[in-house]
Structure 1
Amino acid sequence: MKHIKSIKIISEYVQIILGIILASIGLKAFLLPNGFLDGGVTGIALLVSSVLDINVSALLILFSIPFLILGFYTVSRRIVIKSIISILGLALFIHFENFSTITEDKLLISIFGGLFLGAGIGIAIRNGSVLDGSEILGIYLNDKYGISIGQIILVFNIILFSVTALVLSAEVALYSILTYIVTAKVTDLVIEGFEDFIGVTIVSKKYEAIEIAIMEELGTGMTLYKGTRGVGSSGKTEDFDIIHTIVNRIDIKKMYRVVDKIDPKAFIVEFDVNTVKGGVLRHYLDKKKNKIIPRL
């Protein structure tokens, strides 16, 4: 067990280092040479650096300190320690890295700068670290006042980009907003993964036939809840099973077709699913024998 735990810890730090490298490439190769900003603490450091001509690495560490202190009281110490290492590592990489100009196209700079930065931030977050203190601020205000983290970060960045438009220029602010959008989307993609799953609840008198059809046609597992009584368009229903399953977004239309062929009046509730772990997914069922196929 200790051996497995050690490998997991080493793997986490190796991935965090990879995240730092990617984020530093986005900053040093694209954003910094062209005066573009990102959101959060990184954006503040870039803005102050461009106005006062102060080393951005020093500013990144300086502006992160209050958020790390705040994080000491709001999140686990392990996350704070990892974040300190990550921010110091990012600052060092930015300071010592030297890249030649890759492109002068402003649109490409915004997109690829955001892409590298978002990938780096996402990898770091997946491994229990943050490269930007604004996430810690969001967690703190969410716990204290119940405001969503997304709204806090959005307001934080609206203020930042408004100041950028006043201090630098509207054009820089607009390109920086584009960079932030790309960064945010790529970060979400890295954290949540490329596959998008949907939860589905199905209520039907013909639940047995639907259960078999889903296993045979979609190859996904499911959970059955015991329903005692229900009232709907077809009147009262008693003693039936409610089907709960998770399908890939690609397969959702096929699932509707499968259910419609058996019971066009079936009641179906669809909802988004952020994370899926365990269970039978991605066609791990043998469609002929309805048995689980071992993962390769």
Structure 2
Amino acid sequence: MKKHSTLERLDLGREIRILALGLIGSLIMAINIKSFVHTGGLYPGGFNGVTLLIQTSFQRFLGISLPFSPISLALNAIPAIFSFRAIGKRFTLNTALIIVATSVFTDIVPAMPITQDILLISVFGGLINGAAISLCLIGGTSTGGTDFIAVYFLEKKNRDVWNFILMGNATVLVLAGLLFGWDKALYSIIFQFTSTQMIHLLYQEHNKITLFIVTELPYEIYQEIMVTVHHSATEISATGMYSQEPKTMLYCVVSSTEAKIVTRKILEADPKALINVIKTEMFRGRFHQTRHY
């Protein structure tokens, strides 16, 4: 009963963390839209960009002012259904809440122009946009739209597709350029590129780290790895050249976000262990992706 209550507290704490980071990210994104994106007339890519493009088109050509929320929610409906089936119910429901929160925040947050310099808007708006998306992803949810695609490929195919999404967003920007002028479209590309690089910097789940662990307690360390991150390891017999004593070397690949946790657990199990941490440029094969959602 005590173990069961502990697990319930952990699940509750994780859910609170997911929602807290997601809501903070959605609020930051809404403020960014009202302070940078609208001021510069930019299109941030993804479904938010498509929503703004539709709003601008109706306002410019038909004189009709449309609210952000209904358009955004309608566009996100199809990828949300796909995510529900392919990624998971919890992740999709949490993301749906973030989509709704972002839409509502965008409608109620007042316009707050900070600068009129279009280059500053493109660079800093992109940085803030990438930080908001990363905050949601780190927490275990997303901002919806193309994020569904990125998370699907990360979990199911173990591939980072953010640069491909950037190229897909270029289609929206080309359409915006044809309709409203190329200057804003080109500045939007700067915004998108900066946002993508910020995501690469902050969200490291797709990066892999190789651990080489020399120890005299291989089973204890293996147990810590399995319990902590659910990864297996390969045991290699070794000999200490100076002492000529038998050793064991464990080979293990984890994500970069797991590496610090694993190394700490390893040293707790064997304070004398030697750990070599190597960045892995390419990895192919079966890899357990820890689910945060």
Which of 35, 46, 49 pairs up with 2:52? 46
2:81 aligned with 1:69: yes
2:118 aligned with 1:135: no
2:22 aligned with 1:16: yes
Which of 63, 67, 70 pairs up with 1:55? 67
1:263-282 mapped onto 2 (5 Å cutoff): 273=256, 275-280=258-263
Aligned to 2:236: 226
Residues matched between the structures, number: 235
Alpha-carbon deviations, 1:144-192, whole Å to 9, x = none? 9999634641342121122122112221111111111121122233322
Q: State the TM-score, normalized to the length of structure 2.
A: 0.66
Tell whether the 8 Å contact from 2:39 to 2:116 is kept in structure 1 after alignment: no
Counterpart-to-counterpart distance in 2, 1:184 and 1:28 = 20
Counterpart-to-counterpart distance in 2, 1:146 and 1:197 = 10
Tell whether the 8 Å contact from 2:83 to 2:92 is kept in structure 1 after alignment: yes
Q: State the TM-score, normalized to the length of structure 1.
A: 0.65
Tell whether the 8 Å contact from 1:118 to 1:182 is kept in structure 2 after alignment: yes
Counterpart-to-counterpart distance in 1, 2:151 and 2:237 = 39
The percentage of aligned residue pairs carrying the same residue is 21
Which of 148, 152, 165 pairs up with 1:153? 165
Which structure has the larger Rg over C-alpha atoms? 1
Counterpart-to-counterpart distance in 2, 1:160 and 1:107 = 20
Tell whether the 8 Å contact from 1:31 to 1:37 is kept in structure 2 after alignment: yes
Contiguous gaps of at least 5 residues in structure 2: 1-5, 60-65, 216-232, 239-245, 275-293
Contiguous gaps of at least 5 residues in structure 1: 209-222, 229-238, 247-271
Aligned to 1:263: none
Counterpart-to-counterpart distance in 1, 2:193 and 2:47 = 15
TM-aligned CA distance change 1:181 to 1:61, over 3 Å: same
Which of 97, 119, 142 pairs up with 1:107? 119
Alpha-carbon deviations, 1:80-131, whole Å to 9, x = none? 1111100000001000001332100111111221122211111111222221
Q: CA deviation at 1:134?
A: 1.2
Aligned to 2:107: 95
Alpha-carbon RMSD across the aligned residues, in angstroms, is: 3.9
Q: CA deviation at 1:32?
A: 1.5
Tell whether the 8 Å contact from 2:91 to 2:141 is kept in structure 1 after alignment: yes
2:33 aligned with 1:27: yes
SS for the counterpart of 2:236 is strand
2:63 aligned with 1:80: no
Counterpart-to-counterpart distance in 2, 1:242 and 1:182 = 41
Q: CA deviation at 1:70?
A: 1.9
